[in-house]
C-alpha cells in the first residue's frame, strides 16, 4: 500500500490523550504507507514526557523492519539518532521486509507495545516473520501477552489468524525479563473485514492469578473475592504460581469467552494495595462488561482500528460495536486519519458505539 503523496506528516504528540500510542501508530503507518513524519511534544501529557526506554525500543524496531539504518532513519530534534528523553522525532521509513527479528526493551517496559508497533507493517509484507521479544509481558497500561494471545483471532476478521504467540517466560514490572515468540503470517490476499457486532452465548469464564515471588495466600485471597462476587465454581479459579525468578509479580486476569468474541480483563498487584482491592479492581471491570451487550471492550476497540482501516482500504469494509469510545481511541483515530484516506464513523448504539469507516477523497494503490 503506497500513496502518491510523499510529504512529511506533521504530528503533535500533545493532542488528545497525549501518550505513546500516537508514536506507535505513526511508526506503523509510516512503514506501511512510505510517508515520513515529524512528531513533536512526544508523550507531552505523561508524568515523564519524551521517549522512555520502551518507546525507544519501538522506534528501533521500526527502523529494523524498515530496512535497517541504511534505508530507515529516526532522528531526534538535534538531527542525531533518537535517544531516551527525546521530545521530537523525524522518521523516514524504508522498505518493510519480513524475516526473523529479535527486539529487547532492555527494561521491564512492555515488549507487547513493540509488537503493536511492527505487527501491521509485517502483516502486510510479502513474507512471514518470526519475532523474539524480550521485556515486560504483563504490564499496567499496556496490552498483556494474555490479552493479545486470546484476542489474536479477532484481528483477522473472518480470515485465518495473522499471528500466533508463545510465551517463554513471564516478565513483570520492575524486573522484566520476559520472552515471547511471535509468528506473523501475512494473508494470501487482502485483509478480511472486521465484523464484530454480536457476543453470542457465554462459552467459558475463568479467573487466573499469576504470581511469582509473593505468598500463595495473596492469590487465594484475590481469587476468593471473585468467587464470592461472581458465584463461580472452583474449576473456574486458577492459581498459577510461577518460577520465583520470574518475579516478583502478580497479575489477576479474568477471561470471558463468548461464541464470537473474547474479553480479557486484568488488575496488577502493587505495593500498598491489598489483595482484596486488586480483586475488586478487576471485578468492577468484569461486572461492567457483563452488564453491557457490545462485544468489543474498551481496549480491544483501540487495537481494532488499524486492521479495520487497512482492510477497508482494500475493499473490505467492516464495523464493530464497542462498549465505549475513549479519548485514547479518538486520539488514535486522528493519527490514522493523517496517514490514510479514511474517516472513522461512530454511532451511538444501546449505551455503546458502533464504529465504522468511510473513505476520504484520495487515491491509493
Helix/strand/coil for 283: helix
Label the pairing between strands 100-104 and 163-169. unpaired
Residue 175's pLDDT is 84
Q: Using CA atoms, how far apart are residues 197 and 348, in angstroms rounded to an integer?
A: 13
Residue 4's pLDDT is 40
For the CA atoms of 15, 338, 71, 98, the dihedral, rounded to the nearest 10 degrees, stands at 100
Q: Using CA atoms, how far apart are residues 242 and 245, in angstroms rounded to an integer?
A: 8
Q: Using CA atoms, how far apart are residues 292 and 270, in angstroms rounded to an integer?
A: 29
User: The C-alpha cell of 222 is what?
Assistant: 484475590
Give how far the C-alpha of residue 72 lies from the chain's centroid of Cα atoms, to the nearest Å: 23
Contact between residue 328 and residue 321 where contact means Cβ atoms under 8 Å apart: no
Q: Sort 335 into a burial class: Cβ within 10 Å, 0-12 / 13-18 / 19+.
A: buried
Q: Report DSSP letters for 191-240, one per residue.
A: PPPPEE----SEEEEEEEEEEESS-HHHHHHHHHHHHHHHT--GGGEEEE
Phi, psi dihedrals of residue 91, rounded to the nearest 5°? -115, 125
Q: Using CA atoms, how far apart are residues 150 and 165, in angstroms rounded to an integer?
A: 10
Cell numbers 464470537 correspond to what residue?
260
Angle, CA of 91, 92 and 93, to the nearest 5°: 110
Residue 158's pLDDT is 84
Residue 6's pLDDT is 55
Contact between residue 164 and residue 148 where contact means Cβ atoms under 8 Å apart: no
Averages of pLDDT over each 10 residues, the chain, 365 residues? 63 92 97 97 93 95 97 93 94 97 92 97 97 96 95 92 96 91 95 96 98 95 98 97 90 98 97 96 98 96 96 95 96 96 96 90 43
Reference 39, options 18, 53, 54; nearest CA is 18
Task: Note the residue count of the chain.
Answer: 365
328 catalytic per annotation? yes
Contact between residue 258 and residue 200 where contact means Cβ atoms under 8 Å apart: yes
Angle, CA of 268, 140 and 320, to the nearest 5°: 110
Catalytic position from the list 71, 73, 260, 328: 328
Residue 1's pLDDT is 47
Q: Using CA atoms, how far apart are residues 129 and 248, in angstroms rounded to an integer?
A: 32
Phi, psi dihedrals of residue 261, rounded to the nearest 5°? -160, 160
Amino acid at each position: 500500500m503506497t500513496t502518491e503523496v510523499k510529504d512529511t506528516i506533521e504530528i503533535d504528540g500533545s493532542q488528545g490523550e497525549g501518550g505513546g500510542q500516537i508514536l506507535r501508530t505513526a511508526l506503523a503507518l509510516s512503514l506501511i504507507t512510505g510517508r515520513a513524519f515529524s512528531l513533536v511534544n512526544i508523550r507531552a501529557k505523561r508524568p515523564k514526557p519524551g521517549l522512555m526506554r520502551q518507546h525507544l525500543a519501538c522506534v528501533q524496531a521500526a527502523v529494523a523492519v524498515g530496512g535497517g539504518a541504511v534505508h530507515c532513519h529516526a532522528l531526534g530534534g538535534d538531527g542525531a539518532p533518537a535517544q531516551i528523553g527525546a521530545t521530537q522525532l523525524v522518521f523516514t521509513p524504508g522498505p518493510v521486509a519480513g524475516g526473523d527479528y529479535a527486539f529487547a526493551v532492555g527494561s521491564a517496559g512492555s515488549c507487547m507495545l513493540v509488537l503493536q508497533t511492527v505487527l501491521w507493517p509485517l502483516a502486510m509484507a510479502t513474507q512471514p516473520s518470526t519475532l523474539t521479544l524480550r521485556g515486560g509481558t504483563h504490564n499496567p497500561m499496556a496490552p498483556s501477552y494474555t490479552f493479545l494471545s486470546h484476542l489474536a483471532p479477532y484481528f483477522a476478521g473472518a480470515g485465518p489468524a495473522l499471528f500466533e504467540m508463545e510465551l517463554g517466560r513471564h516478565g513483570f514490572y520492575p524486573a522484566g525479563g520476559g520472552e515471547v515468540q511471535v509468528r506473523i503470517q501475512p494473508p494470501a490476499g487482502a485483509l478480511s473485514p472486521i465484523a464484530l457486532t454480536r457476543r453470542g452465548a457465554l462459552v467459558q469464564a475463568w479467573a487466573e492469578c499469576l504470581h511469582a515471588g509473593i505468598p500463595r495466600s495473596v492469590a487465594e485471597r484475590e481469587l476468593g473475592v471473585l468467587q464470592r462476587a461472581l458465584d463461580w465454581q472452583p474449576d473456574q479459579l486458577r492459581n498459577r504460581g510461577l518460577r520465583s525468578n520470574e518475579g516478583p509479580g502478580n497479575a489477576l486476569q479474568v477471561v470471558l469467552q463468548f461464541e464470537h468474541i473474547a474479553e480479557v480483563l486484568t488488575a496488577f498487584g502493587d505495593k500498598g494495595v491489598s489483595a482484596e482491592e486488586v480483586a475488586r479492581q478487576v471485578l468492577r471491570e468484569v461486572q461492567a462488561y457483563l452488564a453491557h451487550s457490545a462485544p468489543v471492550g474498551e481496549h480491544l476497540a483501540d487495537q481494532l482500528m488499524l486492521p479495520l482501516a487497512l482492510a477497508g482500504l482494500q475493499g473490505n469494509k467492516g464495523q464493530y460495536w464497542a462498549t465505549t469510545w475513549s479519548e485514547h481511541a479518538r486520539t488514535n483515530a486522528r493519527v490514522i486519519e493523517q496517514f490514510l484516506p479514511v474517516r472513522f464513523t461512530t454511532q451511538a448504539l444501546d449505551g455503546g458505539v458502533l464504529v465504522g469507516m468511510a473513505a476520504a477523497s484520495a487515491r491509493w494503490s
